């Protein structure tokens, strides 16, 4: 039987890593779009080599979501059955500093991709997945959020993603594209970028375990998110594209925790029991046993407009294709802290 061919944009990112690994293990031929960078050694791509040694097939292409000609060339070279558009300027706070660039990649980039598929006549044979996000709900009008909850974006990142979401729906309706939006709530893991709050915390917990006494500076400790594991989420992405028609699905765990609770779980792995003292800018996370300050607040990490709380309802995905997260929050946090500890031991 012919192997299915997938193109992943954003293959060098966290989800790109987990999705490529999953598709390779399912026997796909995987193509990845990557940007040219001055430093060639992507750790995540390096980590994929184990799967490749087991007989997978991975081809990388240079390209950029802001350069439509490069997308056309990659589509011609790869002729994919399935496209997973994961590429994005994905950091919410950075999007306030680079709003036009974020829009160019996260919104216009999706138009470049959809039009390339249409103009090359690939719409009949190619199914598309778009990385939509729970950030689109912003100050959500109800909880938990589902596919029918209105979007109230609170950042340039989220506003661009709302556009991308709607343009996917439009190509589905106007041209019959098999186009799906996965509205994913936060998902993490050892491959998470180091400036997202989860990984920032697990890196700090690992460093302290190995003797580092620096205080971890965080922003809004009360923000709460529905945190799952990226390895579970990429399974749902692939399942969406196996459905008879394109559609929109929420992927979430249905449980929300605060940044404080994330920190408590991470430091607990290293034997530190965190207690919270003070309020507002003076709040501190301290080691209950020694009294040492572990966490403090730095207002530079506050966002001009914040999304205070998100929690998702993934029952549509569960009903349609049986998707459910398997890895618990505690298992995920432990895996991240242990992985960061092991990496630091190897490369001090």
Q: 107 is in the binding site of which of ligand NAP, ligand GDD, none (Cβ under 5 to 8 A by kind)?
A: none
The string of DSSP codes covering 213-272 is -PPEEES-TT-EE--EEHHHHHHHHHHHTTSSS--EEEE--S--EEHHHHHHHHHHHTT-
Active site residue 335: no
Residue whose C-alpha is closest to residue 325's, from 310, 315, 335: 315
- Identify the residue whose tokens are 């500093």: 97
Q: Which two tokens stand for residue 294?
A: 């572990």
Asked whether the bond before 290 is cis by omega within 30 degrees of 0, the reply is no
Candidate ranges 101-109, 112-120, 132-140, 281-289; the one touching ligand GDD (CB under 6 A): 132-140
What gap in Å lies between CA 155 and CA 161, rounded to an integer?
A: 10
In contact, 134 and 310? CB cutoff 8 Å: yes
Q: Which of 18, 157, 171, 249 is catalytic?
A: 157
Candidate ranges 16-24, 111-119, 190-198, 321-329; the one touching ligand GDD (CB under 6 A): 190-198
Does residue number 159 form part of the binding site for ligand NAP (CB under 6 A)? no
Q: 218 is in the binding site of which of ligand NAP, ligand GDD, none (Cβ under 5 to 8 A by kind)?
A: ligand GDD
Q: Which two tokens stand for residue 31?
A: 């193509």
Does residue number 89 form part of the binding site for ligand NAP (CB under 6 A)? yes
Task: State the minimum distance, in angstroms, from the CB of residue 276 to ligand GDD.
Answer: 14
- Which of 133, 145, 149, 181 is the binder for ligand GDD (CB under 6 A)? 133
Does residue number 133 form part of the binding site for ligand NAP (CB under 6 A)? yes
Pairing between β-strand 274-277 and β-strand 284-287 as defined by DSSP bridges: antiparallel
- Which of 78, 134, 145, 239 is the binder for ligand GDD (CB under 6 A)? 134
Helix, strand, or coil here: 128? strand
- Residue 121, by phi and psi: left (phi above 0), alpha (psi -120 to 50) or beta? left
Q: 16 is in the binding site of which of ligand NAP, ligand GDD, none (Cβ under 5 to 8 A by kind)?
A: ligand NAP
What gap in Å lies between CA 82 and CA 307, rounded to an integer?
A: 32
Does residue number 305 form part of the binding site for ligand GDD (CB under 6 A)? no
Q: 87 is in the binding site of which of ligand GDD, ligand NAP, none (Cβ under 5 to 8 A by kind)?
A: ligand NAP
Helix, strand, coil percent values for the chain (each to nearest 5): 45, 20, 40
Q: How many whole angstroms from its chain centre is CA 78? A: 24
Q: 105 is in the binding site of which of ligand GDD, ligand NAP, none (Cβ under 5 to 8 A by kind)?
A: ligand NAP
What gap in Å lies between CA 196 and CA 78, rounded to an integer?
A: 32
Nearer to ligand NAP, 9 or 202 (CB): 9
Element (H or E) spanning 21, and its range?
Answer: helix 14-25
Q: Which of 9, 12, 102, 133 is catalytic?
A: 133
Active site residue 135: yes
Residue whose C-alpha is closest to residue 334's, from 201, 231, 241, 169: 201
Q: Which two tokens stand for residue 146?
A: 């589902």
Does residue number 105 form part of the binding site for ligand NAP (CB under 6 A)? yes
Q: Which of 28, 103, 126, 135 is catalytic?
A: 135
- Which of 187, 200, 208, 229 is the binder for ligand NAP (CB under 6 A)? 187
Active site residue 147: no
Q: How many residues does the chain have?
A: 348
So which residues are the catalytic ones?
133, 135, 157
- Footprint on this chain of ligand NAP (rule: CB under 6 A): 9-10, 12-16, 33, 35, 37, 64-66, 86-90, 105, 131, 133, 184, 186-187, 193
- Footprint on this chain of ligand GDD (rule: CB under 6 A): 90, 92, 133-135, 185-186, 195-198, 200, 218-220, 223, 225, 259, 301, 303, 306, 310
């Amino acid at each position: 039987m012919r192997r299915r061919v997938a193109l992943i944009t954003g293959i060098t990112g966290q989800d790109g890593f987990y999705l490529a690994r999953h598709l390779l293990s399912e026997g796909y031929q995987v193509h990845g779009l990557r940007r040219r960078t001055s430093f060639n050694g992507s750790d995540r791509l390096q980590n994929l080599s184990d799967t490749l040694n087991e007989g997978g097939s991975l081809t990388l292409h240079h390209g950029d979501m802001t350069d439509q000609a490069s997308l056309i060339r990659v589509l011609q070279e790869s002729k994919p059955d399935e496209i997973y558009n994961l590429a994005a300027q994905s950091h919410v706070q950075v999007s306030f500093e680079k709003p036009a660039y974020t829009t160019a990649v996260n919104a216009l980039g999706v138009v470049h991709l959809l039009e390339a598929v249409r103009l090359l006549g690939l719409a009949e044979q190619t199914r598309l997945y778009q990385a939509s996000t729970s950030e689109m709900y912003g100050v959500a009008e109800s909880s938990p959020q589902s596919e029918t909850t209105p979007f109230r974006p609170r950042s340039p990142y989220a506003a661009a993603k709302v556009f991308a979401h709607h343009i996917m729906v439009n190509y589905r309706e106007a041209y019959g594209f098999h186009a799906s939006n996965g509205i994913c709530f936060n998902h993490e893991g050892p491959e998470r970028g180091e400036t997202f709050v989860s990984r920032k915390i697990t890196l700090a917990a690992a460093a302290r375990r190995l003797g580092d006494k620096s205080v971890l500076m965080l922003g809004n400790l009360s923000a709460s998110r529905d945190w799952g594991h990226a390895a579970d989420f990429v399974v749902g992405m692939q399942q969406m594209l196996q459905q008879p028609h394109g559609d929109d699905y929420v992927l979430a765990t249905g449980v929300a925790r605060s940044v404080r609770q994330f920190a408590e779980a991470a430091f607990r792995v290293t034997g530190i029991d965190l207690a919270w003292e003070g309020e507002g800018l003076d709040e501190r996370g301290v080691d209950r046993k020694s009294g040492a300050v572990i966490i403090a607040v730095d207002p530079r990490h506050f966002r001009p407009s914040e999304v205070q709380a998100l929690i998702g309802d993934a029952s549509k995905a569960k009903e349609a294709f049986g998707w459910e997260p398997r890895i618990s929050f505690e298992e995920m946090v432990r895996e991240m802290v242990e992985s960061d500890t092991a990496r630091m031991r190897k490369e001090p």
